[in-house]
Amino acid sequence: MNIVLLGPPGSGKGTQAQRLERDLGMVQLSTGEMLRATVASGSELGKRAKAVMDAGNLMPDDVMLGIIADRIVAPDCAKGFTLDGFPRTVAQAEGLDNMIAEKQIRLDAVIEFKVDEAALVERISGRFTCAKCGAGYHDKFQRTATEGICDICGATEFKRRTDDRAETVQARLDVYNEQTAPILPHYAAKGVLRAVDGMADIDEVYRQIGEILGTG
């Protein structure tokens, strides 16, 4: 199965994508993670990406479409993939349509995470990930079982995203409303759009996704 998770920053897309990968082998394709890896590499593109991301803006559509075009044809994606953070503009959605039609890949569902925007700032500002395996945690909603130790790999170092600062979060929410939310009617018209309650707890959101995908 190939799906898109669509929702504002902090709505829980990454958490659910990680679970789908763990349980169903659907590869998590997070464009944000790919860009953070590019930033860490220190390349020219990485330097450009860092400035764009720290301002809460979006990278150009052609760059993102190029990244995804290469990724979805990789052998590991044959089992299925979850697009997490892509598409983010109508132009990206249209580019994805063309790409998958050409490669004869089917998009099974686009799942919208419905959330209360006011709660997102708290959600975003508390999140952190394991520096080694990338498992996601939250100061309040998803703590490690043992303080300071990753549940998954036992590592003791964690990181926080520089664009998760409160001043950047509002800019990212505005960008979502202006540039990403207009994708919703695009997919509604195709009959593939479904929704989950992104304010429910992690297990409940996962259950709702399972119901949509017929895997629950």
Those residues with Cβ within 8 angstroms of residue 36's Cβ, 6 or more apart along the chain or in another chain? 53, 161
For residue 147, the minimal CB distance to ligand AMP (Å) is: 26
Q: Which of 7, 8, 85, 95 binds ligand AMP (CB under 6 A)?
A: 85
- In angstroms, rounded to a whole number, what is the distance separating the alpha carbons of residues 83 and 1? 11
Subset of 103-162 contacting ligand AMP (CB under 6 A)? none
Tell whether residue 52 is a contact of ligand AMP (CB under 6 A): yes
Q: What is each CA distance from 41 to 30, 49, 56, 66, 86, in whole angstroms?
A: 17, 11, 20, 18, 21
Neighbouring C-alpha atoms within 13 Å toward the C-beta of 72: 28
Enter the tokens of residue 75. Answer: 């052998």
- In angstroms, rounded to a whole number, what is the distance separating the alpha carbons of residues 65 and 82? 15
Q: Which of 13, 19, 50, 123 is catalytic?
A: 13
Q: Which of 19, 36, 123, 127 is catalytic?
A: 127
Toward ligand AMP, which CB reaches closer, 35 or 111? Answer: 35
Determine the interface stretch with ligand AMP among 40-48, 80-88, 127-135, 197-205 (rule: CB under 6 A): 80-88
Q: Is 127 a catalytic residue?
A: yes
Toward ligand AMP, which CB reaches closer, 35 or 130? Answer: 35
Q: Which residues pair with residue 28 across a beta bridge?
A: 82
Tell whether residue 209 is a contact of ligand AMP (CB under 6 A): no
Toward ligand AMP, which CB reaches closer, 31 or 82? Answer: 31
Instruction: Find where tokens 């036992």 sit.
Output: 154
DSSP for 134-153? Answer: --EEETTTB--SBTTB-TTT
Q: Is 132 a catalytic residue?
A: no
Q: Which of 19, 36, 88, 123 is catalytic?
A: 88
For residue 45, the minimal CB distance to ligand AMP (Å) is: 12
Binding site for ligand AMP (CB under 6 A): 9, 31-32, 35, 52-53, 56-59, 64, 85-86, 88, 92, 163, 172
